[in-house]
């Protein structure tokens, strides 16, 4: 803590002591808040300057973000969860006016009074009673520059929320989106469940897990990388429509669309296939767009998009043949694909053969998928949990939904042949033994469950964070995660970061 900041904290503690000596409680337990700022601002819009409503009483509580004491009067700004409203103190009409000068920006206060409109037309609360509720020991970030430093915004999200109204709105909208999805599925008789986040075997997708140790059981466990295998066990048990919205953890890289900890929706629906899931996804995304954006046509990242059904469909292998230069052979011929890629993409020499398909797809096809687009018929070699296509050789009944160039959803006609699943897991085990730490570990309990019998079903996974990114027009996943994972650093006080000279901040 710098000497200057230390002195500011000392000054604030002196102000707190002065308030206590004037009879105020240092840390009150409650305050009888009756309204929020927006209740006043919305009710008294489009009114003439000079009007007042002494009979209307409001009790607000929030953070003081501005204060101007001018002789026998003072104006300030009070910010609460809903927004910000101007407040007015008059020496002749409010008790303890002398104590107002001991308030600091950032303090949390309770005020009670009636609304009026100033000569300049600003709706204001005329304070008749007030009470300090908490003394802030550090200054707020500059009200003019706001909080712009990216690292500070992510590490001290409370400061980001405190000074950036648009950030608060982003996370309110995220909550609305998740609630809409829950209501959408609940209305269709899906049951929400909760699976274990600590698992003996991390399965359900190909990813590197985080490892943890359980002391009482003296055993290493994994944080889950997917929700799938436990939800499928519930279909075996007799439930027909289940879903979970929960955190998953993958020990992988961090970039604009990836965070090691993120939120997934997974659902499983008995007696349907991937075509039925496609219809469900179209219905969900179209309805969600209308609920959040007011229309299925709106703008994302400066581009006009259309989320109305039906969505376009693109064949996985066909799109590779169309988009990848000189790919004049069947890309499912992995030895030829290896030779082709080694010659043209030497940086991929350590990429396993079967992953070259996704590398090419990500390079040439994904960037062009702007409107919601179903990519269908993925090769069997990259789809260990999907059913083989009923009529096409070498591919599966699977789709991924893409939009704005990245994956939003993944779905299958679920594999319920226990013997076929065992063979695929054994193939994955061979890859693990060969050094592929993302390949599936064989889950004997899950295989036993399949042997009891899982009905035919369709399954779906949706990345909630990426979906929120699109609907809030944010280009980084960290902008839609309240507390994104950050590399630890030597302790640097939040107020020191926030008080950084704006000229040194990074946008």
Binding-site sequence positions: 400, 407
CB 289 within 8 A of CB 296: yes
SS3 48: coil
Annotated binding-site members for Mg(2+) = 400, 407
Encoded tokens for 66:
């501005």
User: How many CB atoms sit inside 10 A of residue 422's CB?
Assistant: 15
Query: What would the DSSP string read from start to end of 359-425?
Result: HHHHHHTGGG--S-EEEE--BGGG-TTBPBPSSSTTBBSEEEEEETTEEEEEEEEB---HHHHHHHH
Beta strands in 258-397 (DSSP E): 261-270, 297-300, 303-306, 312-315, 373-376
| Contacts for 42 with CB less than 8 Å, ≥ 6 apart | none
Which of 352, 345, 306 has the alpha carbon at shortest distance from 325?
345
The secondary structure element, H or E, covering residue 344 is helix 334-344
Q: Which residues pair with 63 in a beta bridge?
A: 79, 108
CB 108 within 8 A of CB 62: yes
SS3 9: helix
Q: In whole angstroms, give the CA distance from residue 94 to residue 74.
A: 11
CB 60 within 8 A of CB 35: yes
Which of 97, 108, 98, 100 has the alpha carbon at shortest distance from 137?
108
Computed on alpha carbons and rounded to an integer, the radius of gyration of the chain in Å comes to: 29
Q: In whole angstroms, give the CA distance from residue 65 to residue 144.
A: 11
How big is the chain, counted in residues?
Answer: 507
């Amino acid at each position: 803590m710098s000497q200057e900041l230390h002195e500011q904290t000392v000054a604030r503690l002196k102000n707190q002591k002065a308030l206590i000596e004037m009879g105020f409680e240092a840390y009150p337990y409650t305050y009888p808040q009756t309204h929020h700022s927006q209740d006043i601002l919305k009710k008294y819009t489009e009114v003439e300057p000079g009007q007042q409503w002494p009979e209307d009483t409001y009790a607000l509580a929030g953070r003081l973000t501005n204060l101007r004491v001018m002789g026998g009067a003072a104006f300030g700004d009070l910010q609460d969860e809903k927004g910000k409203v101007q407040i007015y103190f008059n020496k002749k009409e409010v008790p303890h006016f002398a104590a107002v000068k001991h308030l600091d920006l950032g303090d949390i206060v309770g005020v009670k009074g009636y609304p009026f409109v100033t000569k300049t037309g600003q709706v204001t609360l005329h304070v008749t009673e007030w009470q300090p509720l908490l003394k802030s020991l550090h200054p707020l970030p500059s009200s003019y520059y706001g909080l712009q430093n990216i690292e500070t915004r992510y590490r001290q999200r409370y400061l980001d929320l405190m000074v950036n109204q648009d950030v608060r709105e982003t996370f309110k909208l995220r909550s609305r989106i998740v609630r809409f999805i829950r209501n959408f599925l609940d209305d269709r008789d899906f049951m929400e469940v909760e699976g274990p986040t600590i698992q003996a075997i991390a399965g359900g997708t190909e990813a590197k897990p985080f490892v943890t140790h359980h002391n009482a059981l003296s055993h290493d466990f994994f944080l889950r990388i997917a929700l799938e295998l436990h939800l499928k066990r519930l279909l075996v048990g007799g439930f027909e429509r289940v879903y979970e919205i929960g955190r998953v953890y993958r020990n992988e890289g961090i970039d604009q669309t990836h965070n090691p900890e993120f939120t997934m929706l997974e659902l499983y629906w008995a007696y349907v296939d991937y075509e039925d899931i496609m219809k469900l996804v179209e219905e969900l995304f179209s309805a969600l767009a209308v609920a959040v954006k007011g229309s299925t046509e709106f703008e994302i990242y400066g581009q006009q998009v259309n989320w109305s059904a039906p969505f376009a469909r693109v064949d996985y292998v066909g799109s590779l043949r169309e988009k990848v230069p000189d790919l004049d052979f069947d890309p499912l011929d992995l030895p030829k694909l290896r030779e082709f890629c080694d010659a043209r993409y030497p940086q991929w020499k350590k990429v396993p053969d079967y992953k070259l398909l996704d590398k090419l797809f990500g390079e040439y096809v994904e960037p062009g998928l702007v409107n919601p687009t179903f990519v269908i018929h993925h090769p069997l070699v990259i789809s260990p949990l999907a059913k083989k296509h009923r009529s096409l050789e070498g591919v599966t009944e699977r789709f991924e939904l893409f939009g704005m160039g990245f994956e939003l959803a993944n779905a299958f006609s679920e594999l319920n042949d226990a013997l076929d699943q065992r063979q695929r897991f054994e193939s994955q085990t061979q890859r693990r033994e060969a050094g592929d730490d993302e390949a599936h570990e064989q889950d004997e309990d899950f295989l036993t469950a399949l042997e009891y019998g899982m009905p035919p079903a369709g399954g779906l996974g949706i990345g909630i964070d990426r979906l929120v990114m699109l609907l809030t027009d944010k280009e980084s996943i960290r902008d839609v995660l309240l507390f994104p994972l950050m590399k630890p650093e030597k302790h640097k006080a939040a107020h020191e970061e926030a008080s950084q000279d704006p000229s040194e901040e990074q946008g």
